[in-house]
Structure 1
């Protein structure tokens, strides 16, 4: 399957790279740290090829992708002490199959309901470059180990 020109996830243009920082490639996907770290550990994971719907992905590849998703969710929960992981796969305007994995914490933003995809500017937490790098290295090493991938 080819990448699709004009697709946010296929193109990964400057706007994309200002909001999502690539952590690593897994067996069927790429993992990105979301710039908004209001809920620590929030990541996006995209299928390596362009498909609009999960059911379009051949079963063997879809199973590998879901194994990647599960490994990332477990990694986030373990590293950041999340009480629950929410999985978002909307894609109305960005059709490339991807999940936003949002760790949820009791008593914090969005607990008891769907996570806030775009929190108010005053609520957003961003990190220093060093803290982003540290968080990305931490997540990357742990999730790659879970998937049996050597860096």
Structure 2
């Protein structure tokens, strides 16, 4: 963990987040500045600079798949746009952004986080 990394601070509980998924190695939460309703970040709990540095990348992609499937159910859409950029926060992260919502797009963020978490 790096004390200056915002995602490491979220993992340690020093900064708040609306968590939707957590296992031994990964965490997913609603983005603080979402591009779409339900936009999630999936991060490894151990600090890695790039997604490509995560040693158990298959498990990482499986966590992302589970979150994307929950988003599909919650928002009634097949279209989940993913993005791996890594230029804003120096900690590996995957964005999952639901598109073309057919339901639940008017809910408050806490309600969205709750719905996503019960579908995981």
- Fold equivalence (TM over 0.5): yes
What is the aligned partner in structure 2 of residue 98 from structure 1?
A: 93
Measured against aligned partners, the alpha-carbon deviations of 1:110-149 in whole angstroms (never above 9, x if no partner) come to: xxxxxxxxxxxxxxx996xxx3332222111211xxxxxx
Shift of 1:37: 5.8
Deviation at 1:80, TM superposition (A): 0.2
Of Structure 1 and Structure 2, the greater helix share is in 1
The Cα of 1:39 is off from its aligned counterpart by: 2.8
Q: Quote the Cα distance in structure 2 between the aligned partners of 1:40 and 1:92.
A: 22
Aligned residues: 115
Q: Check whether the contact 2:18–2:110 (CA below 8 A) recurs between aligned residues.
A: no
What are the ranges of 5 or more consecutive residues in structure 1 without an aligned counterpart?
107-124, 144-151
Greater length-normalized contact order (CA 8 Å, ≥ 6 residues apart): 2
Which stretch has the larger CA shift, 73-82 or 20-29? 20-29
- Runs of 4+ aligned residues of structure 1 deviating over 6 Å after TM superposition are none
Question: RMSD between aligned alpha carbons?
Answer: 2.8
Larger radius of gyration: 1
> Runs of 5+ in structure 2 lacking a partner?
none
The corresponding residue for 1:57 is 54
